Amino acid sequence: MEEAAWFWGVATCVKLLLVPTYHSTDFEVHRHWLALTSSLPLARWYSDASSPWTLDYPPLFAYFELLLSLPASLLDPTIVDLVAGQNYAASSALLFQRVSVAAADLVLLLGAHRLACRLPPFRRRLAFAFLLWSPALLIVDHIHFQYNGFLLGILLLSLSFLAEGRDLAGGIAFAVLICSKHLFLVGAPVYFVYLLRHYCRGGFGKALGRFLAVGSAVGAVFAAAFGPFLYHGQMLQVLHRLFPFGRGLCHAYWAPNFWVFYIVLDKILAFVLAKLGFVIQAPKASFTGGLVGDSSPFAVLPQVTPAITFLLVILAMSPCLIKAFLKPQSKHIIRWVAYAYTCGFMFGWHVHEKASLHFTIPLAIVAMESLDDARHYFLLSIVSCYSLFPLLFEPQEYPVKILLLAVHSILMWLGFCQFRISRTSHQRKMSDSRGSCEKNQIIGCAGTCYLLGLFGVELWGQLLHPYFFGDKLPFLPLMLVSIYCAMGMMYSWAWQLRQIVRFC
């Protein structure tokens, strides 16, 4: 625990230094939720419309905001004032909110400690370095402003319980997680199948008893979260706020997932076919806007609806679900859950690029299992962190994000170079004399070229694009980042699928 606390302490110092940096509108969103939960009665939390930032997280997160609003009102009452606090950006609010995110990361510390404490010493420290010092998490949580660290901590806790064989506790933790941020529902199929097969077994009576136990425990969590709203007859309103319709397939900035290729292919086909003389109807809707009646945002390729994306996600997850059904082993659960979130990211509807955190963080633990996993994590964490760069577009934060990624990459390099999996003493002697990582190559030729290409994409976005195009086509560099990162993400998804199918 002492080591984990050391890592957490160093990270907290960095987070404190990041207090005065840029923050997005998410800052005002969370401040408004502080005011909302502390000023209004429960019945009006999900129906209030005094601000465009309506509450769209499940009730447990709202209770968390209520809890935070207590010290906030003591520090500076304007923070939690529903009317006077709108767009309040005084230093008291900034400091309070930033410190609250850093403090909530204690949950991440707890989750990381439980998950990594059984690893051998060197890998344990490496795991702490990657979990607690993740550059993507620092960028999203402590600059852009969100509370992912705390939620991912609950996920890690849940995974640690499952990995230890304490399935009931894991299930309850996961239920708490879903009731705090419903985006984590994507992992629910894996949890369900795993708990069903791993926990609910051993004769019909016992299995049934355990099934009821899990069911009632999870039900209790849901009841605690949603119960009050059911009592007030607010359930429909709550669900309406949690699952808003009318959003497009992609976010304004395309998350680097499968749909990027689909859109680009559609555009290319439209262009080519138009040149060949076919009549192509120009799309009326946009990718970021909602579905408008019958018109589709795609000119050539078939329309994509939320139902289709849901089916695709389930289809992509199915090999993993089958494996979990046939042979549920606690040592693979982290890998399966991470894969589930990868599928959700790759094929889901209106995915934010920040959702890549949901699988890159758990994969940091999986990376400690073998050199292959380490190699995969090396590539994935760099690509996913880079895909988050467009979130910070001001020149003041530019060196910060670059340096965070650079330090993380070097730490990964240093750490993975020292992985010495069972090799013969002769091999060890040979590579010791060479003193480099040749036998333990962290990254192959293709990977190196791909990562160097990231430099090229960045160079284009920062220097060449303004030089050649000035202010025109501002979306082009972002598109380029999306497409390039999507290639890496697709590779990661395919590689994880292969690992699960072949080795689990």
Partner 1 sequence: MAKKAKRTTTSDDTSGGDGGFPWSTTALTAPTAGAVALFALLVRVMVSVGPYSGEGTPPKYGDYEAQRHWMEITLHTPASEWYRNTSANDLAYWGLDYPPLTAYQSLGHGLLLNTSLPDAVALSLSRGFESPVLKLLMRWTVLSSDLLLFFPAALYFVWVYCRRNVGGDKEGRSAPWLLAMILLNPCLILIDHGHFQYNCISLGLTLGAIAAVLSRNELVASALFSLAINHKQMSLYFAPAFFSHLLGKCLRRQNPIFEVMKLGLVVIGTFALVWQPYLYSLEAVMEVLSRLAPFERGIYEDYVANFWCSTSIFIKWKRLFPIQSMKFLSLITTVSAFLPSFIQQVKAPSDRGFLYALLNSSFSFYLFSYQVHEKSILLPLLPASLLALEEPLLFGWLMYYALLSMYPLLCRDHLILQYISVVALFGFIFYSPDGRSGMRANSFSIRKRALMTLPLLCSFILHVIYLSLRPPKKYPFLFEAMIMLLCFSQFVILTLYTNTKQLMLPDCSTRTERGKKDL
Would you put residue 421 in left (φ > 0), alpha (ψ -120 to 50) or beta? beta
Least separation in angstroms between residue 346's CB and partner 1 is 31
Least separation in angstroms between residue 65's CB and partner 1 is 24
Own/partner long-range contacts of 438-442 (Cβ < 8 Å, ≥24 apart): 440/371, 440/416, 441/375, 442/374, 442/375, 442/378, 442/412, 442/413, 442/416, 442/417
Residue 203 or 470 with smaller CB distance to partner 1: 470
DSSP annotation of 252 = S
Least separation in angstroms between residue 439's CB and partner 1 is 14
Least separation in angstroms between residue 18's CB and partner 1 is 6
Site residues for partner 1 per CB under 8 A: 2-3, 6, 9-10, 12-14, 16-21, 95, 120-123, 125-126, 129, 395-396, 399-400, 403-404, 406-407, 410-411, 413-415, 417-422, 425
CA atoms of 258 and 447, how far apart (whole Å): 20
The answer to whether 304 touches 258, Cβ cutoff 8 Å, is no
Residue 129 or 443 with smaller CB distance to partner 1: 129
Least separation in angstroms between residue 197's CB and partner 1 is 27
Secondary structure of 201-230 in HEC code, one letter for each residue:
CCCHHHHHHHHHHHHHHHHHHHHHHHHHHH
Largest CA distance in the chain: 72
One-letter identity of residue 502:
R
Least separation in angstroms between residue 452's CB and partner 1 is 17
CA atoms of 110 and 152, how far apart (whole Å): 11
The answer to whether 146 touches 420, Cβ cutoff 8 Å, is no
Least separation in angstroms between residue 473's CB and partner 1 is 24
CA atoms of 19 and 262, how far apart (whole Å): 39
